[in-house]
Structure 1
């Protein structure tokens, strides 16, 4: 176990574990082809955070997911982020069936429950892509192009949307999701991830 001392009612991690957390203190932009989107990440992808994400993503450890989601919720509240709807990075039907769940959807639903803001994701991932792990920055952008589509829905027109994902590396995945939403008539899109990594 990472930690045997946390309780969700109080602090989600013990003092020893919290000291290992590396927080991102400022927002940043992902830019591509003269288009940019604002991103907030709670932590850097290292140490305890890395292990928590891996447990959520690959081992169905939803207790770890709740720990991470709680920190995301704190960031939203402390920075007074404003949005009308919450979306998340989708998986293909095949990939989600194999895993049994979408970790980004899990995080989005947690935020929705405590913020009383609906999850409304009309993004569709139309093709399975290579795992981003081990790819260069350029390969990651190429890997994500044209694999997301939108189910048209007038309900989202002129809305402000928060896209939720687990890890931001180059930003290729979240950028392409934001781009598709923007094309469909969204007013504003920003992105929230648990962690920020590097290629």
Structure 2
């Protein structure tokens, strides 16, 4: 459990923890080099949400992942977000082998299962990059430049795609993923993250 006190057996967060959730909800545009993509974030990256993400991302705590994914699913349904396919921010093969899983893929697969919308795995991260944590805003953009590619797939043509990730800060990672998908003939790309952070 994320906390030692909880009200129901099926509820992993107690009342006090749930009160610490800081909903974000407002959409915004991620703009760079005359391109822009619509972004939604479910929460702000603080308090209990930060702890949940850290546990999922670095401690293989998939119960925390399910808590986050459930809130993401509820957000999609309550805001009536419309899309044909789900993508996620990829890791290099080396990084994924080291961690054992991709937390963004975990979230995407959860949404896919309950929305009955396919996940596509056509985004590829071609090179390892520095961890974005600790980098300045400008360094984050240059760190992510030219490290993503898209495998061609006619099934994606003219479709609307939702990119899923855990946290958005400057948006450099999500932007470059969206840009690559758009180049490959996608109709529209938007982004959904669990949390919104600051540099």
Report if TM-score (shorter chain) is over 0.5.
Answer: yes
Length-normalised TM-score, structure 1: 0.97
Structure 2 unpaired stretches of 5+: none
Correspondence 1:29 to 2:35: no
Residue 91 (structure 2) aligns with: 91
Length-normalised TM-score, structure 2: 0.97
Task: Give the Cα separation in 2 of the matches to 1:8 and 1:155.
Answer: 42
Contact 1:85–1:160 (CA under 8 A) maintained in structure 2: yes
1:157 shift after superposition: 0.2
SS class of match (1:3): coil
Deviating runs (4+, > 6 A) in structure 1?
none
Residue 162 (structure 2) aligns with: 162
Equivalent runs, 1:1-199 vs 2, <5 Å:
2-4=2-4, 5=6, 9=10, 11-199=11-199
Task: Give the Cα separation in 2 of the matches to 1:86 and 1:183.
Answer: 17
Q: Does the C-alpha gap of structure 1 residues 135 and 80 become closer, same or farther in structure 2, counting only changes over 3 Å? A: same
Q: Does the C-alpha gap of structure 1 residues 57 and 8 become closer, same or farther in structure 2, counting only changes over 3 Å? A: farther
Provide, for residues 131-184 of structure 1, a one-character-per-residue CA deviation record: whole Å limited to 9, x for no partner: 000000000000000000010111100000000000000000000000000000
1:13 shift after superposition: 2.0
Contact 2:24–2:44 (CA under 8 A) maintained in structure 1: yes
Aligned residues: 198
Measured on the aligned residues, the alpha-carbon RMSD in Å equals 1.2
Structure 1 unpaired stretches of 5+: none
Q: Does the C-alpha gap of structure 1 residues 62 and 7 become closer, same or farther in structure 2, counting only changes over 3 Å? A: farther
Q: Does the C-alpha gap of structure 1 residues 158 and 89 become closer, same or farther in structure 2, counting only changes over 3 Å? A: same
Contact 1:8–1:67 (CA under 8 A) maintained in structure 2: no
